[in-house]
Amino acid sequence: MVLALAAGAVVGLALGALGGGGSVLTVPALIYLLGFSPAQATTASLVVVAATSATALFAHARAGAVRWRLGALFAAAGALPAVAAGLLSRRVPDAVLTGAFAAVAAVAAVLMLRRGPPEPGPVRPGRAAGVGAGLGALTGFLGVGGGFLTVPALVGVLAVPMSAAVGTSLLVIAVNAAAAFASRLGAVGTVDWSLVGPFAATALLGAWDGRRLAAKVGTTALRRVFAAGLLAVAGAMAVDALFVHSG
């Protein structure tokens, strides 16, 4: 219980301070600190991701920083892929899930180290639908929100200004996570929700404190620290996938 509370607080701080990428810590925390299997962790992570995203979305909506129609269309492109990927993940060996998650964590770390968001480009509906579908599949398969990919996609593909991209991405993430979780209802009974509940609760509280932390420390320094931590997590999970789960 203590580990669940502490891990949830760290995830929430990262989400609140950086606006995206913090949920990538959820699955490793559930696996290595709380003893969940990769399949259980990715299922439980969807609940944490959906709850934290919806809560943060409310704050952005109050500030008028959400493009509702555009976000809904982007999310709609990812909803069915999220369901399909969620069903597929239940048939995938733990080693594959762990290895795939290691790759995603490494990509997230690299993107965190980028100096700034991409330049807005022309709106391309076909490309936007493809990117939305890919992000939905990522959420469904690995139980991550994908904010570290959604925000750049909204800016670079749909020309959403950065001031509205984070809030709009939260709408996309919440919808995809909810759709993916619906596809995993058959696996709900295998998850220890007595640990997931406290984890999610402290993540929600930590998200509010994360905003204040970012204001005091600065997002650049936090991104570097967070990226270093993600790279370490990615390395550990890659080793685990190669030598533990595969053996």
Instruction: Please give the Cα distance from 136 to 159 (Å, whole number).
Output: 20
Q: Determine whether 7 is exposed, middle or buried from the number of CB atoms within 10 Å of its CB (0-12, 13-18, 19+).
A: buried
pLDDT tens, residue by residue, 154-211: 887 788 887 788 888 888 888 888 888 888 887 777 788 898 889 988 888 877 776 6
- Rounded distance, CA 34 to CA 88, Å? 24
What is the structure's pLDDT at 80?
Answer: 92
Residue 239: other Cβ atoms inside 10 A: 12
Query: Over the chain, what is the mean pLDDT?
Result: 81
Q: How many CA atoms lie within 13 A of 41 on its CB side?
A: 23
Say whether pLDDT at 5 is over 80: yes
Q: Which residue has the tokens 């950065």?
A: 162
Structure tokens belonging to residue 210: 């994360």
110-124, 130-144, 233-247 — most confident range: 130-144
Q: Residue 245 carries which DSSP code? A: I
Instruction: Record the tokens describing residue 160, joined without a space.
Output: 């959403």
Q: What is the pLDDT of residue 68?
A: 92
* CA trace torsion 234, 235, 241, 245 (10° rounding): -100
Report the alpha-carbon distance of residue 62 to residue 179 in Å, rounded.
Answer: 25
Confidence tier at 81 by pLDDT (50, 70, 90): very high
Q: How confident is the model at residue 123 (pLDDT cuts 50, 70, 90)?
A: low
Average pLDDT for 139-165: 81
Single-letter code of the amino acid located at 61 = A
* Domain boundaries, given as residue ranges, for the chain: 2-245
* b/e sequence 48-79, b meaning 16+ C-beta within 10 Å: bbbbbbbbbbeebeeeebbbeebbebbbbbbb
The pair phi, psi for residue 172, each rounded to 5°, is -60, -45
Closest by alpha carbon to 139, among 162, 169, 165? 169
Please name the residues in contact with 219: beta carbons below 8 A apart, sequence gap of 6 or more. 17, 18
Flag whether pLDDT at 247 surpasses 70. Answer: no
Question: How is residue 60 written in tokens?
Answer: 């952005």
- Could you report the per-residue pLDDT of 102-121, keeping only the tens digit for each? 888 888 888 777 756 566 66
